[in-house]
Amino acid sequence: MRTIKSQSGAVLMVSLIILLILTLIGISGARSILMSERMTFASRDAKVALEVAESVARRGEDYIETLTNLDDFGTTGWRRTAGDGPDDLFDGSTWTDTNSVEQEVSMEGVDGEVLTGRMFIELAGLTEDDTNITDVDLSAGSNASDGVNIQVFKIVSRGVGIGGTERIIITLYGKEI
């Protein structure tokens, strides 16, 4: 019979190695789950930012539908004449009260706060000056084949997601003025 003193600890060593391997597998799995969670949040944040930008663009279209003249468009502010819009859409000053207007959308952040986006509208010319008017959304009741001259507006909107992701979209919208 062997006594306790004569054992060299082989079982202990094998047990510690197995425990180390299981720990490494657990850590690897936890890292994978954290990375998946981050990717999911980033994807959701990008979608929220895009939805905010699209909602703000629709607000711009609604505003255009109320226009009866172009007197409010100038070289400053959020309503600009052709060629007078901000040059750099990624510059922070483009999205201040000087160059754009803030709009609330019907979406809430995680804390219940209403989300907002910003936009500016620039005149883009008349359809008679545009070689491809199929790129322009026409306001209700107008058809490009009617031969009516349509004023084209460039709506530039910016949405920010819950985590700070930004999306900027540019749409062309036409209306007979």
pLDDT tens sequence across 35-48:
999 999 989 999 99
CA gap 38, 163 in Å, rounded: 11
Q: Domain range holding 46?
A: 10-175
Q: Is position 166 within any domain?
A: yes
pLDDT tens sequence across 15-73:
999 999 999 999 999 999 999 999 999 899 999 999 999 999 999 999 999 999 999 99
Q: Is position 2 within any domain?
A: no
Q: Is position 87 within any domain?
A: yes
Residue 79, classed as helix, strand or coil, is strand
- Is residue 146's pLDDT more than 70? no
Q: Is position 5 within any domain?
A: no
Higher-confidence position of 83 and 130 = 83
Residue 160, classed as helix, strand or coil, is strand
DSSP 2: -
- Is residue 139's pLDDT more than 60? no
- Is residue 81's pLDDT more than 60? yes
Range 100-119 average pLDDT: 89
What is the sign of the dihedral through the CA atoms of 106, 108, 112 and 114? negative
Q: Is position 124 within any domain?
A: yes
According to the model, what pLDDT value does residue 137 have? 56
For the chain, the domain total comes to: 1
Q: Is position 3 within any domain?
A: no
- Confirm if 126 and 150 have CB atoms less than 8 A apart: yes
Q: Band of the pLDDT at 79, cuts 50, 70, 90?
A: very high
- Is residue 128's pLDDT more than 80? no
For the record, the structure tokens of 38 come out as 């981050």
